[in-house]
Structure formats: C-alpha cells, structure tokens
C-alpha cells in the first residue's frame, strides 16, 4: 500500500492537475472542495489514502487566500486520513514577494505561508520559479525548486532573429544571464526606479540592443507595468522588436490591456497558473505547458530518485 501514489487537486488549477495525472498514467483522485454559504472552505477526501504517497496540486494564485486555505485544509484532511507523506505541489507560491523586511513594521508573509504548510502536515514542497530562492530556507522540510527554463529555452531557441536577453530590473539579472549563457547570446539590463508598489519608471538600458530582437525575461508578470515600460525603453534605444517571457502569468488589474496596447510583440508564459478569460482572448499571449516537467519531478520524488537533473 505504501507504494501507491495519489494526485489530488483543489480548485486553483484542475486542468494542470489533470495533465500531470495523465503524464503519470494515473486518474485524478477524488476530493470535494467547495464553500459553505458563508464562504468557509469545506473539504472531503473521496477515497482511501492510508499509507499512500499523496501529492496535492494547488498553485496559490488569485484568489490567493481561498486557494491557500483550500490547500491547508486539504492537507489537514489527508493527514487525518493517515496519508504516509503529503507533498504540496505549488507551481506558483503566493505571497512570495514579501520575503524580507524591507521597511519598518512589515511582515515576512512568505515565511508565514511556509509555517502554515508545515504545521498542518506538509512533508515536502515542489514549487517552480520562486520569486526569491531564499524562500526555500523558510521551510524545515525538503523543497524541490524547479525552473521553467527548459520549457522556455526550447521556445526561444531558433525562434528569433539576432536575439538578446534583457532583464527588466536588477533583481532578475542572474536569471536572465543564465538564459543568455545557455543560448550563447548577449545580455542587457533595464535600469528602473519603482516609486510605489506595482508602479515603475524605466530609465535606461545597460547594454547594446540596437538592431536586435530584445527578449525580456521575468519570473512573473503582475500588472505588466514593468514589462511595458521596459519594452518602450528598448525600442527608444534601437531594438528592432521586443518579445517577453515569464513563468507565472498573474496578469492582474490592467495587465492584459497594457500588454495589448504595448510595444511587446508576444508574451510567452507557462500554465503554472490558469489564464484569466480576458488574457485567453489576447492574441499576444502564448502558453507553454510545464505539466510534463512537474509530472517527472513527482515521479522521481515518489521513486526516491534524484530530482537535481531537472534543476536547469
């Protein structure tokens, strides 16, 4: 019985969970996750999990609090049903941007989420492209941190004429440099100033983008202000055209409208979180699947094999 694997899903992204289960040649396990009339979360596990290796696929995307509570309560239900090990599969880790005290009297919310998950019974976490790698250290349990790089690199390679990788801010330089090195192409950086949350002003470009196809790379696109202002700055500095890639298409507020009317030719994202209906209608947004990558990681975790070769 201990060798049996079960894949569960909350309501955050059932399509991704189904894809993962399909890659593993497994059915998606049964669980009822709904709300009481007052908004409280109700969970009932629909099958036996005693002694089994259980994976709960639940990116904590919008509405973040609902999906986080679904995950926490599902894990508690599975622990009380005597699951042998519970792994939280979180392709997108909510509250990741609050990972340190950068002002007086502010929380470290990413640590709070980690504590919640450990307390209710999560014994391993599988995540992808954390906003800050140090979040792994907030857990006292194993964290397997995957990257969407293999999927994005396959798309970028041979797709563009005379490309150059561009980091939209200083914080993403390491990520962008790794892509540029793998593709053997140049690197540029946007110098920007952020006056208040979710708003920024791009100032100038460090690097030569004249006559080149600029490819902006970020871990997430939220309101898209950073990307759109960066694209305009790149064109002013002589870039031939601008494309963008990111792992997590948060796309909140005016993001889709901004992208539609921006200088960005295409925005390539993964299916780590589901696209809003408005974003699905945007012709500039292309979605790549990471379900096979996550499925392979789950298979290796279950079989106690090395996952490090997936850490590209």
* pLDDT, position 271: 97
What's the predicted TM-score (pTM) here? 0.92
* pLDDT, position 237: 94
Helices (H), the chain: 14-23, 64-80, 109-120, 149-156, 173-183, 225-236, 255-260, 277-280, 291-302
- Of 186, 179, 173, 272, whose CA–CA distance to 221 is shortest? 272
Q: Provide the annotated active-site residues.
A: 192
Low-confidence ranges of the chain (pLDDT < 50): 1-2
DSSP one-letter string for 171-232: GGHHHHHHHHHHHT-EEEEEEEEEEETTEEEEEEEES--TTSEEEEEEEEESSSHHHHHHHH
Is 183 within 8 Å of 157 (Cβ atoms)?
Answer: yes
Rounded to 5 degrees, φ, ψ at 254 are -85, 15
Output the CA–CA distances (angstroms, integers) from residue 162 to 74, 133, 213, 266, in the order listed: 48, 31, 6, 16
* pLDDT, position 194: 57
- For residues 227 and 190, give the distance between their C-alpha atoms in angstroms, rounded to a whole number: 10
> What's the CA angle centered on 274, arms 233 and 246, to 5 degrees?
30
- For residues 268 and 271, give the distance between their C-alpha atoms in angstroms, rounded to a whole number: 10
- For residues 72 and 80, give the distance between their C-alpha atoms in angstroms, rounded to a whole number: 12
- For residues 208 and 234, give the distance between their C-alpha atoms in angstroms, rounded to a whole number: 10
Is 131 within 8 Å of 219 (Cβ atoms)?
Answer: yes
* pLDDT, position 309: 80
* pLDDT, position 171: 83
Beta bridge partners of 159: none
């Amino acid at each position: 019985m201990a060798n049996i694997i079960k894949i569960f899903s909350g309501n955050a992204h059932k399509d991704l969970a189904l894809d993962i289960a399909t890659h593993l040649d497994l059915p998606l396990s049964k669980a009822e996750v709904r709300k009481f009339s007052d908004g409280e979360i109700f969970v009932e596990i629909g099958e036996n999990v005693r002694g089994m290796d259980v994976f709960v696929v639940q990116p904590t995307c919008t509405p973040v609090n609902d999906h986080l509570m679904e995950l926490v309560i599902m894990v508690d239900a599975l622990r009380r049903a005597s699951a042998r090990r519970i792994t939280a599969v979180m392709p997108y880790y909510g509250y990741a941007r609050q990972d340190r005290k950068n002002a007086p009297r502010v929380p470290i919310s990413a640590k709070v989420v980690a504590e919640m998950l450990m307390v209710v019974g999560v014994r391993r976490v599988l995540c992808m492209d954390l906003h800050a790698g140090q979040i792994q250290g907030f857990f006292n349990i194993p964290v397997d941190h995957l990257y969407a790089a293999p999927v994005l690199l396959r798309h970028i390679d041979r797709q563009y004429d005379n490309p150059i990788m561009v980091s939209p801010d200083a914080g993403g330089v390491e990520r962008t440099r790794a892509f540029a090195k793998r593709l053997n192409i140049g690197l540029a950086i946007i110098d920007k100033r952020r006056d208040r949350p979710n708003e920024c002003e791009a100032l100038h470009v460090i690097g030569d983008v004249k006559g080149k196809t600029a490819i902006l790379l970020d871990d997430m696109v939220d309101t898209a202000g950073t990307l759109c202002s960066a694209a305009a700055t790149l064109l002013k500095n002589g870039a031939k055209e601008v494309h963008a890639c990111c792992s997590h298409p948060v796309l909140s507020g005016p993001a889709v409208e901004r992208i539609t009317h921006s200088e960005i030719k295409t925005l390539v994202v993964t299916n780590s979180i589901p696209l809003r209906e408005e974003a699905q209608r945007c012709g500039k947004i292309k979605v790549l699947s990471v379900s096979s990558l996550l499925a392979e990681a789950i298979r290796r975790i279950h079989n106690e094999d090395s996952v490090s070769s997936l850490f590209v």
